[in-house]
């Protein structure tokens, strides 16, 4: 099977896969500053929704061969000034 990378909206299945990464990838947890506790699905979804709204952002899951490997976002979008920021994280293994 060829390696296929896709960007998709985060649904419940992808949220669970992303939580597995966020709660078990020690290096990523340290880099993101979430190493003090495991994140619940509700916390993950609520945080992403609140952050996306407050920063005028879109967040997508990065999918490799059907499995979530990280997220990518287009944030602080300003159509009038043709500006935005891109941020991402990918599992460390």
Q: How is residue 65 annotated by DSSP? A: T
Query: Residue 51's pLDDT is what?
Result: 94
Q: What's the pLDDT at 50?
A: 96
Q: Which domains are present in the chain? A: 5-90 (3.40.630.30)
Burial degree of 58 (CB within 10 A; 0-12, 13-18, 19+): middle
**One pLDDT digit (tens) per residue for the chain, 93 residues:** 567 899 999 999 999 999 999 999 999 888 888 767 888 999 999 999 999 999 999 999 999 999 999 999 999 999 999 999 999 999 997
What pLDDT was estimated at residue 10? 96
| Structure tokens given for 12 | 């419940």
CA dihedral 20, 21, 26, 29 (to 10 degrees): -110
Contact 70, 10 (CB under 8 A): no
């Amino acid at each position: 099977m060829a390696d296929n990378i896709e960007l998709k909206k985060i649904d419940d299945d992808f949220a669970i896969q992303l939580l597995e990464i966020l709660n078990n990838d020690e290096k990523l947890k340290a880099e993101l500053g979430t190493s003090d506790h495991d994140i619940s699905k509700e916390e993950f979804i609520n945080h992403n929704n609140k952050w996306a709204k407050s920063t005028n952002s879109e967040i997508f899951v990065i999918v490799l061969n059907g499995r979530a490997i990280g997220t990518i976002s287009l944030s602080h979008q300003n159509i009038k000034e043709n500006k935005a920021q891109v941020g991402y994280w990918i599992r460390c293994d």
